[in-house]
Chains A and B, each alone.
Chain A
Amino acid sequence: MEIIFAKRILDSMDSGFIIVDKDLNIKFWNKWLQIQTGKFAKEVEGKKLDELFPIENSTSIKRKIKTVLAMKSTVFYNAHSAKPLIEISRPHITNSVFDIMKQKVTISLYNSHEGLVCINIVDETLLHEANYRLEQNVKSLEQISSIDGLTKIFNRSKFHERINHEIKISERYNIELGLIFFDIDHFKKINDKYGHQIGDDVLVQIASIISSYIRDVDTFARWGGEEFVILLPGSSAQSTYKLAEKCRLLMLSTEFTDKKINVTSSFGVSNYISGETVNKLFLRVDKALYQAKANGRNQVQ
């Protein structure tokens, strides 16, 4: 059989090669796979791939094999996800992120007359680990910086810095300090309905309109996700409440993005009480926000 001629080449390659038919019957299992999975060729040849290994979606791979046989060309099994076809664990002692091999899997035509395809599995774990480390570095850098990547207003860590500072000033000079915490009602529904891109656009637009509404001395930041905070030095409890209400109405009357989405938001407000800690202040504001949500949303508490 033809496979004997291919065997020498396929056994000398540093990646996995499986020759299967449309029902996943294994005709050939190369040396790399024998070493990586611990299963010898004679144990697996003649058996079905999905009976030997738990394959997440065997309809999907069978459909892809059908595609290869129909189109007589190559198909990429997992172009994005690097979801492994067969779970192969990676032994490691130090410094690695993934326990299971990340794989690039392609399926190509082997023998059209006999209905055979060749599945190639390449170990891409190192590449993914390098990417992961890069992503972590970016995240750390973002944290060190003060600006939220998406909305370009201050981020949470900058806000913490500011509030600690303002509290000290408030104490020393006996100045009032207001805090507003708000979030978008049912934001997940917007993401689900319009997609994340639009969801992001809404957040950017909110940041933009609220930014232009507050004073120079105020600090406006993105707390996370769809949550925002405003710090108002010199603002009385009444003024803080008033501003929150104005913001709520402003958001209510705006049609967001060119999809003209209507958005409501819930607000929690509180003013700093002399002597209390930052955490205590946040707890009160949080409670107020919670109250607003519990009372039916789209309001200030």
Chain B
Amino acid sequence: MDKKLEFNEDHKEVLRELMNVAYGSATAVIAEILDAFATLHVPKIELFNVTELRNYIIGKMEDDAFLCSQGINGKIAGESIFILNRSSMKNISKYFDLDDSATDDDLNDIATELTNILSSTTVGKLAEQVDSMVAFSPPSVHIVNKVSIKDDLKMKDYSQAIVISTSIEFEEEHIYGDLILFMQDDSIVWIKEKLDVIIEEYL
């Protein structure tokens, strides 16, 4: 792959640190919005080449999952997708005033809301730390399974993705989901420049 699109180890370390901070404030916001006490587990943050990503996703998801995507515009441009297994969705739905009778449409609404919160806070915070602004397109959600996902995910426009494997504990419920940020090639180049500045200042 194109050298100028690769992150070296220093870049990865700084990026992980920035994402950690961004993600931390995102989960704090969720807890505040939902009026619920939440324990956040330090997420595992990995950079993936997009070619490896599909198998990774298929390996982690249960058969029935909600895939919610949102476009990101600005210097950090690309898309975020949030994959939540149905069991986690059911767990979290009570915090959104829904019970067992929740329909797929109701769950779609929550998935969208959750994605909006997680992805815009995380990416928003990240943008803040690298001095830029971002805007988001309205999210869309699909119900996917291991077979349909091959068609649902068209990743060929991207070369790199940041995968944040999340786990949020709300009292008795556990939510496991993956937030994946796809960045366009120019954004990768731009972020690398910003990371280089940070590396110089601190390392």
Answer yes or no: do A and B interact: yes
Binding site for B on A (CB under 8 A): 57, 59-60, 63-64, 66-67, 70-76, 79-81, 106, 194-198, 258-259
How far, in whole Å, are A76 and B115 apart by their CA atoms in the complex? 11
What is the bound-complex CA distance between A111 and B109, given in angstroms?
Answer: 27
Contacts of B148 in A (CB 8 A): 197
Asked if A67 and B97 sit within 8 Å, CB to CB, the answer is: no
Residues on A with C-beta less than 8 A from B86 are 195
Q: Mark B62-86, 1 if CB is under 8 A from A, else 0.
A: 0110000000000000000000001
Smallest distance from the beta carbon of A193 to chain B beta carbons, Å?
10
B145 within 8 Å of A (CB atoms): yes
Enumerate chain B residues within 8 angstroms of A57, measured Cβ to Cβ: 97
A81-B109, A196-B104 known; A73-B124 Cβ under 8 A: yes
Total count of chain B residues near the partner, CB < 8 A: 29
Contact B63 A74 (CB under 8 A): no
Q: Which residue of A75, A79, A196, A258 has the most chain B CB atoms within 10 A of its CB atom?
A: A79
When distances are taken between beta carbons in the complex, the residues of chain B under 8 Å from A196 are 104, 143
Establish whether residues B109 and A71, one from each chain, have CB atoms under 8 Å apart when the complex forms.
no
Contact A73-B29, Cβ < 8 Å, known A59-B97, A195-B64: no
User: Chain B's nearest CB lies how many Å from the CB of A50?
Assistant: 15
Q: In the bound complex, how far is the Cα of B106 from the Cα of A60, in angstroms? A: 12
Whether B113 lies near A71 (C-beta < 8 A) is no
Docked pose: A63 CA to B86 CA in angstroms: 23
On whether the beta carbons of A73 and B112 are closer than 8 Å, the reply is no
Are B113 and A64 in contact, CB atoms less than 8 angstroms apart? Answer: yes
On whether the beta carbons of B29 and A67 are closer than 8 Å, the reply is yes
Q: Apart from A64-B113, A198-B64, list 8 A-B contacts with CB within 8 A.
A: A63-B33, A74-B136, A75-B116, A76-B138, A79-B109, A79-B138, A80-B140, A195-B64
Q: Is the CB of B105 within 8 A of A198?
A: no
Whether, in the assembled complex, B14 has its beta carbon less than 8 Å from a beta carbon of chain A, the answer is no
